[in-house]
Structure 1
C-alpha cells in the first residue's frame, strides 16, 4: 500500500521535521529552558507554523517526542513475556547507543519532572509505574517457570533492574566506560538461574 500523498505527506514530513528539531532543542537546553520559537527557527518556519502542527505548544511537542521514543521501545518489547521480555529490555538498551540525543533528553526530563509542578511529572510517574509493573510480571513469569534464583523477589528485581538501566544511561552520558546493554544483561542475569 502506498504512503500518504500530497498535502498529507507534506504534513507528515513537516511534523517529523518539527519533532526532530524539538528533540535537538530539548536535548541541548532541557525542556524548561527551551521555547517553541527556538524550535521554529531550527525548522525554518514561524512559531504559528509549529503550533499549527502541534496544538498545545511546547508540552504537546514534548509529549510527541517522548511518545516516539516509547513507541520504538514498545515495538522491540512487543508481546514478549518472561525471559524473552527481559532479553528485549536489553535490546532496548542496546539501541540507546545510536540515540545519544534522545537518551540525554529523556534523562534531563526525567530529572526535571521529579518536580510535581513540571508539565511532564504525571507522564513520567505513570511511565515508571507501567514499566516497573511490566518488568515485575516478567520476573514473576520467570519464577513460575522455575528460572528465578532462590529468594529473589520479582518486584525488588524489577526495581533494581530499572534503577541499573537508568543509572547506566547517566554514566554513559557522562563519558564513563559502560555498556548499557551488556551491563544491564549482567545485572538481570544475576537474578536468574540461567543467564539471558
Structure 2
C-alpha cells in the first residue's frame, strides 16, 4: 500500500518541479519565446516526461502556472470582506516583493496575452474583470460600513487601486526604489475614512 502513495508523491513532486521550471522559463523568455524542451532541460527530464504531466504541452503548462499563482491570492482573500479584503490586497503586495520571478512572469504573459490569438488572452481578460469586480465589491462593503470617505465611488477606487498595483509592480521590476505594499497602502488610504 505504501508503494502507490510513494509513486504519487514522486509524481506530484515532479509536477511541482516542472511548474517551477515553467515559471522560470516563461519569466525569462515569455510564452512565445519558450519551449517545452527548454522547460524539460531545466528540470533535467525528457520532453516526453513533461508531456506526461501536462498533456496539453506548453499551453497546459501556461494555464497551470497562472492558475497556481491565482489560487494563492484567492486563498488569501477568502472570507475577507470590505476593509479586511482591502487590507489583504496590501499584504498580497507585500508578499509579492519576495517573488520577483512570479511578478515578472505575470507581467510578461499579461502583455503578450493582449494579442487576441494568444492562448491566455481570454484568461487574462476574465481574471482582470474578476479582480476589478471583487475589489469594487470590497470598496462598496467598506462604504456601507462607513469606512470610506464621503463621495468615494467604489468602482473608481477599485479601478484606481488596480492601476496603481499594476503600475507599481512595473516600476519595481524596472529597478525603481518602490515599496509596493506601503505605496499601495498609502494610495488606498486616500479613499478610507481611517487609514489602514
The TM-score normalised by the length of structure 1 is 0.96
Aligned to 1:150: 150
Separation of aligned partners in 2, 1:48 and 1:59: 15
For 1:190 and 1:62, the matched residues in 2 are separated by 37
CA shift for structure 1 position 5:
2.3
- What is aligned with 2:195? 195
- 1:61 and 2:57 equivalent? no
1:125-144 Cα shifts (integer Å, max 9, x gaps) = 00000010000000000110
Give the gaps of 5 or more residues in structure 2.
none
Find the counterpart in structure 2 of residue 51 from structure 1: 51
Secondary structure (helix, strand or coil) at the match of 2:79 reads: coil
Equivalent residues in 2 for 1:1-196 (5 A)?
Answer: 5-196=5-196
1:16 is paired with a residue of what secondary structure?
helix
Contact 1:110 1:124 in 2 (8 A): yes
CA distance in 2, matches of 1:8, 1:56: 20
* Structure 1 residue runs of 4 or more that deviate by more than 4 Å after TM superposition: none
Instruction: Please report how far the alpha carbon of residue 118 of structure 1 lies from its aligned counterpart in structure 2 after TM superposition.
Output: 0.8
- 1:94-148: CA deviation from partner (whole Å, max 9, x where unpaired): 1111100000000111111111111100000000000100000000001101121
Distance 2:22 2:60 in 1: 11
Rounded Cα–Cα distance in structure 1 between residues aligned with 2:23 and 2:183 = 27
Aligned to 1:61, what secondary structure does the other structure show? Answer: helix
Equivalent-residue separation in structure 1 for 2:117 and 2:195 (angstroms): 41
* Whole-Å separation in 2 of the counterparts to 1:70 and 1:175: 25
Instruction: For 2:91 and 2:74, locate their aligned partners in 1 and report how far apart those are by CA, in whole Å.
Output: 11
Normalised TM-score (structure 2): 0.96
Distance 2:22 2:77 in 1: 26
Q: Give the SS at the match of 1:98.
A: coil
